[in-house]
Amino acid sequence: MTFVLVMWIVWCALALIALALHFYRSRLEREEDDQIYLDEAFSHEKAAQEAIIAKVNRIEPVVRAAHWLLGAATLFVIVFYIVDMLHNLHLIGD
């Protein structure tokens, strides 16, 4: 297996993970309501909303890390191809 193939497999895996985490967070946030429950009769709804907020807050650092890793991998791919192009044009040495 060549380095380029491994590089693209890693990039695709990171992209799929970031995309899946983004969709999961979006699905959780879709169920979240922007309401204030002042009456005790709605305590079960308030508890459900607090559970959703806790899930979103727990997954947010993972989503952010996945996006940073994907950005770093994208930058690596771009730099790899720029260096390869410069090698092919004989502008830099091996």
Domain boundaries, the chain: 3-88
Any residues with CB less than 8 A from the CB of 61 and at least 6 apart, and which? none
**Quick one: residue 52, left, alpha or beta (phi over 0 = left, psi -120 to 50 = alpha)?**
alpha
Per-residue pLDDT tens over the stretch 17-42:
999 999 999 888 887 666 665 566 66
- B/e letters for 17-48, b = 16+ CB within 10 Å, e = fewer, are ebeebeeebeebeeeeeeeeeeeeeeeeebee
Handedness of CA 62, 67, 50, 28 (dihedral sign): negative
Look at residue 10 and tell me whether its pLDDT is greater than 90.
yes
Look at residue 59 and tell me whether its pLDDT is greater than 70.
yes
Question: What pLDDT score was predicted for residue 48?
Answer: 77
Q: What is the mean pLDDT of residues 32-55?
A: 72
80 residue type, one letter = F
Distance, CA of 76 to CA of 7 (rounded, Å) = 9
3-state secondary structure of 39: coil
The pLDDT-based confidence of 15 (bands split at 50, 70, 90) is very high
